[in-house]
Structure 1
Amino acid sequence: MSIFFEKKLLFWRQWILPALLLAGLFLLALTPIAKAQPVRGLYVAGGGGVSFNQGQQINPKVRLDYPGKHGPPGSPTNDQIITGGKLLYNPGYSVEGSIGWGLGNGFRVEVQGLMTKNELSGIMDGGFPAQGSGHQMVYGGFANAYYDMDIGLNWIYPYIGFGIGYEWQKDNMKLVNTAQSVNPYTEQIGGTTGNFAYQAIGGASFPVPWILGLSTTLEYRFNTMVGGHGHTATTSGTPVVDVTNGAHLPTPVSTTFGTKTYFNDSILLGLRYEFNPIPPDVIERPVLMPPAPPPAAQRTYMVFFDWNSTALTPRAREIIGLAARNSTNVQYTKILVKGYSDTSGETIKGGPSYNDNLSYRRADNVKAELVHDGVAAGLVSVKGLGATNLLMPTGPGVRDAQNRRVEINFN
């Protein structure tokens, strides 16, 4: 059974882990599409699940010179205390708890405590056939950082994370030679060792609809400790010969038992509660400002003329057209078109009557353009007021463009 799990874990490490890494990188590359799913403020989380210890390689350098024989390490005359090979474990369990803080922009940080426990199954490629018993417990603390993502589905929010910390490995295990029926050779492994550790995390949260701030979580964690790990080892029973190299495995001996690797894969189901959650409608619905009211339609328009001219300029026609269109948006009983002139005609053209006549013809041309643009002729009245009501006060005989004008008033 343990060899079966060892093969499955090797497949997981060779194929599944790279696939998860690529998926995480792909999601990061899609951050403009996969928006941040913010966790804001304080939260707590906890969970538990299944733990898979990958096979731990025994350090073959732990050896003892057999009495009366000397030789370089590894030679047939140099007998080892502990056999080589790889320790195998049955699936166990893992629990964790954490407290963290969401930054409100998709990132969050936390401190976490965790523990895993796996039963020893046996040894692979060892110097003698062995049956294992006892367990290995690993516990420690981590500082983790996460990035939560919104992929457009309101029921699932993926996240990825990474953590560094420190772990302790506590062994209470026994290997018994199954080839000996009486007083079999036995290795008792115990003690605690610690080292720095790191972990990679990928998972997803699933909001609980009826409890704001509560989510279930499903995640995968890959955890490893750096360096080798030394434990105490005591041998007893009938000595044996290591079938892999012919070395004697003596008894009774107490020494250090070393392993070179620790890799753990865990799948956890848990809960996370946010104390200051962002309501879904705040996250998903943009704030819509009411439309600005339409500007009130103008009631007065002015057009200007060249000196001594009644001809409408292109700009004058644009303004008259705007007035005609807006005539349908305002309430009025009549449209009064008043024409004016500057003071130059009084001295150059023979007196006020010239300016009165010129201003009237300007106003009449504006009325004709209004009618052309759809205004009923009966609603428009025309006046020529000459050089009166000057916009720019001047003396007599002065040419001024602002005074040569026609005003359109909706009354």
Structure 2
Amino acid sequence: MSFKKALLAATVLSLPVAAQAQTMPVTGLYVGAGVGANYNQDRVQRLAGESAVVRSDVGVAAVGAVGWGFGNGIRAEVEANFRWNAVNRLSGSGSRAPNAGGNIYQYGVMGNAYYDFYNLGLNLGGFNITPYVGAGAGYVWSDFNRVRASDATGGIVANSRDGRFAYQAIVGAAVGMDALLPGLSLTTEYRFMGTLEPSVTFVGTGDLAGQRSVFKAENYNHSVLVGLRYAFNTPAPAPVVAPAPAPAPAPARTFLVFFDWDRADLTDRARQIIAEAATNARTVSSTRIEVSGHADRTGAAAYNQRLSVRRAEAVAAELVRRGINRNEITIQGFGFDRPLVPTAQGVREPQNRRVEIVLR
């Protein structure tokens, strides 16, 4: 498995679906951990023109970290890591040695720096997604535990540990789980980790007893991890507040009843309006009802004064029929002195032929 293929695969796995959400950058202290699979590339051991190849099965990788987010997408952390791979083949000088086995353990400490692409607004199924990239450097020990190859006559075995400078590149994505716990994220990532060549000492057994060889071994690892990260300073999402119900409209306190020209009798529509006024008078606990009659500017002033009073009395009588006490009603007539629509003398204006009911 080449580095380019592994990087491409991890990148594809890390790409989220675009949507319209936006995450907040990590701010302050956080902790994280992850576990997954580790592929340790064939280790080519070299010494004085001789070489050996150690091949391993896919094994296990685990990391744990404590870090700090600066609130602008940049994070820094200290990481402890562990990798294990079982050896399944050891070959040298073009031939494969029989009965190969053993384990290779790697463990160390790294300092990492990351950048979170928190402002891309990516979302999948309602969960915010933040891609990130990172790089790290530190110190890792390679522990060869009974790495061996043998036949009936003898063989070689390595019980050797050596620490070297280590480096790594990281690409991943964090899926926000704030609905479960503010600050909690599910992480998935690919890591390439390498070290400077550690020294491995092989000791002969059986017919090869007494022989001793020290090799320099390549060390490149490809890991795919799934984990959790918790940021301590993440604010809880704002609660969803139901909109306040719209206040009920205030009961009307003024009603207009219109009349035909030179008439004081009530129309069906006028009786409906008076009924609404009577109902609202009880709703608002009215203590006084003013009924004011008006006329348009046709005819003599004295005649229109009397007509406006008759109109007010007709409305008051209908209010009493609707259950209003007569002593709560005051009646007055203004003739054509207070028009709703100003007009010249002699103009018939329907809106001026009215009675105003005012609830006090």
TM-score interval (norm. to shorter): 0.5 to 0.7
Question: Which of 95, 102, 112 is the matching residue for 1:141?
Answer: 112
Specify the code of the residue in structure 2 equivalent to 1:358. Answer: L
Would you say the 8 A contact 2:47–2:214 is kept in 1?
no
Give, in whole Å, the separation in 1 of the partners of 2:64 and 2:281.
77
Question: Which of 265, 278, 284 is the matching residue for 2:239?
Answer: 284
Matched with 2:55 is: 85
**Residue 286 of structure 1: SS of its match in structure 2?**
coil
Give, in whole Å, the separation in 1 of the partners of 2:157 and 2:286.
114
Q: CA deviation at 1:324?
A: 1.4
Matched with 1:224 is: 191
Give, in whole Å, the separation in 1 of the partners of 2:319 and 2:66.
80
Matched with 1:302 is: 256
Task: Give unpaired runs (5+ residues) of structure 1.
Answer: 1-16, 67-79, 152-157, 241-249, 347-351
Per-residue displacement from partner, 1:205-256 (whole Å, max 9, x unpaired)?
Answer: 7999xxxx9x8x6966544218x8773555655599xxxxxxxxx9857555
Matched with 2:167 is: 194
Give, in whole Å, the separation in 1 of the partners of 2:297 and 2:66.
92
Matched with 1:408 is: 357
TM-aligned CA distance change 1:207 to 1:40, over 3 Å: farther
Matched with 1:57 is: 41
Matched with 2:5 is: none
TM-aligned CA distance change 1:57 to 1:341, over 3 Å: same
Q: CA deviation at 1:45?
A: 1.6
Give, in whole Å, the separation in 2 of the partners of 1:353 and 1:206.
79
Specify the code of the residue in structure 2 equivalent to 1:184. Answer: I
**Residue 284 of structure 1: SS of its match in structure 2?**
coil
Q: CA deviation at 1:96?
A: 0.5
Would you say the 8 A contact 1:96–1:112 is kept in 2?
yes
**Residue 141 of structure 1: SS of its match in structure 2?**
strand
Q: CA deviation at 1:343?
A: 3.1
- How many residues were matched structurally? 330
Specify the code of the residue in structure 1 equivalent to 2:27. Answer: L
Give, in whole Å, the separation in 2 of the partners of 1:381 and 1:218.
74
1:328 correspondence with 2:282 = yes
1:172 correspondence with 2:142 = yes
Question: Which of 236, 250, 262 is the matching residue for 2:222?
Answer: 262
Would you say the 8 A contact 2:61–2:223 is kept in 1?
no
Would you say the 8 A contact 1:81–1:253 is kept in 2?
no
**Residue 283 of structure 2: SS of its match in structure 1?**
coil
**Residue 263 of structure 2: SS of its match in structure 1?**
coil
TM-aligned CA distance change 1:309 to 1:318, over 3 Å: same
Instruction: Calculate percent identity across the aligned residue pairs.
Output: 23
TM-score normalised by the chain length of structure 2: 0.64
Task: Give unpaired runs (5+ residues) of structure 2.
Answer: 1-9, 92-96
TM-aligned CA distance change 1:51 to 1:85, over 3 Å: same
TM-score normalised by the chain length of structure 1: 0.58
Question: Which of 82, 91, 97 is the matching residue for 1:117?
Answer: 82
Give, in whole Å, the separation in 1 of the partners of 2:86 and 2:25.
47
Give, in whole Å, the separation in 2 of the partners of 1:101 and 1:293.
49
